[in-house]
Structure 1
Amino acid sequence: MTKQQKIKKYYNQREKLTLKNRKYLRQVKRLTEDFLIEDLDSQGDVTSDATIKGNPKVTAILKAKESGTLAGLEETKWFLKRYKIQITRYKRDGARVKKGDKILKLTGGIKDILKIERTILNLMQRMSGIATQTDKLVKKVGKHVLVVPTRKTQWGLVDKKAVTLGGGGTHRLGLYDWILIKDNHLKLVTSNKLPVTSYFTEVECKTKKQILDFVKQKPDAIMFDNFKPQDIKKIIKQIGKTNIIFEASGGITEKNIISYAKSGVNVISLGSLTHSVKSLDISLDIL
């Protein structure tokens, strides 16, 4: 398997992040159900019940209030089907929108729409915010480096799906996925000899010595953890041609990501993609 084939297989598992995948569906179901239960409790929407007689049929429009990249439409469509709300979709996941663009039209009982309003907005705004920031960074670094999140996520696989819709990858999906040997593992082993295993294996390194020692053992990937881009470039040049995947992580921001992209690494991971997200502003208005 070539280096690019390995990157696609292990760092960009976007095909697994679909509602056709039972594991992903389970997470979306749990997430949306918990939002709604928390919002309604046992009393329901007391404001709508107190002010609106009956449940008249209405139309509502979801609009973008700022430019960005959309995500969460697949999940929203699935969720709304359970509440007998008809959907007309104007945009698709991964589409870029401008302020004022229509995203969805909802038709159904007004109380049904108001009941699920905050759940679907929270879902779409967060996912779209992640996709928007990812898209911005992907444009900066170009196609030769894959931008991925870490496991520092609030919503797990849902956050990772949003990154892929912005043009990024996934990194590993969980602890079960493949081996990533980190500093806490290395503190408790008697030697730096890599385990003999059939799993894809990456080693997190904090020093040049660690990197040069592990390169001799030919792991599938090596992570440069909190290295400066100029130091990464020198070390990769010293190592020379290899099929090992190089990842940069730690201290990477929108301001310095181009320098890391030019350092020779194949993958750049950022925790900030998912742990410090700015939601995309989306509104829902009854016509």
Structure 2
Amino acid sequence: MSPRQIAAMLIQTGIKDITSELDFKRCSYRSFAHGGFGSVYHGALRDGQLVAIKCIEMIGQWGAWSPSDKHWKHAAHEIYAWSKCDHPGVMKAIGFVFYKDAILLVSPWAQNGSLARYLGNGLRTPYGCYQCIEVASSLEYLHGIGIVHGDVKAENVIISDSGSTQLVDFGSATFIHSFTLRFTRTSSSLPFSAQFTAPEILDGTNDKYTVETDIYALGMTILQIATGEPPYAGKSDLAVLSHVFRNILPHRPDFDDIISDQPEKDKLWNLLIRCWEQDPKLRPTATELIEIKEMSTAQPECS
């Protein structure tokens, strides 16, 4: 299937082709972020709206691209998965651009950056518990419509202009159920961040992401919100793998920044431990994780 045929199929499902709306003169030639299956560039539409442009497995400058069949299919898969989402906790994709036989995903520019950047800069909030709830609610929504995110981590959660959190990056997403379109991937490898990847993926027991692997990653993301640092901070990927395979959990934090009551702190830690169960079937659901709301005494100003 050619990229033009794939683009035509995307249009038929209601996904917008905004190639004519992109101001190519205002698009960067160097990526500002890279991870998973692609690089992200800064750009703008002709109406002045700033956007992020996701390019699947394209490294270097725009002119050096050499897209292949797997690039087209993976780009189409990500765009299609993202297009199925309509939730305040999931950033809305604008559409796609067809450029030099490559299909590029376009989404709004997140000027506040990612949650990982926010936490890394030492920016904390007394309402961190609500950030946990927002991410859990977004994941509950995705699982409810049959989508596994596949790469839940603070780097893939952005801070919106209103200060709320939104999930982004559906490059590793999979469908629980069949949708109208299905693009078969040709890549056999899965991108992963060791600190957020479930043991059954790391040891090869499972070769695809599941609802349960999302929950494992969500638990680690909640831990990062609570501590301001990634799980197993300061350890190499090899050391992290060793800890995961030996079922050595991250150190328990004090949770003072998000919960004041000691019994509720214990309850949260026990909930996180369940997220990291070696047996995926023993992990809680995203819906269960939303009960963190009952543990917090802080109320957000926007509530």
Is TM more than 0.5 here? no
* Greater strand fraction, Structure 1 or Structure 2: 1
Q: TM-score if structure 1 supplies the norm length? A: 0.22
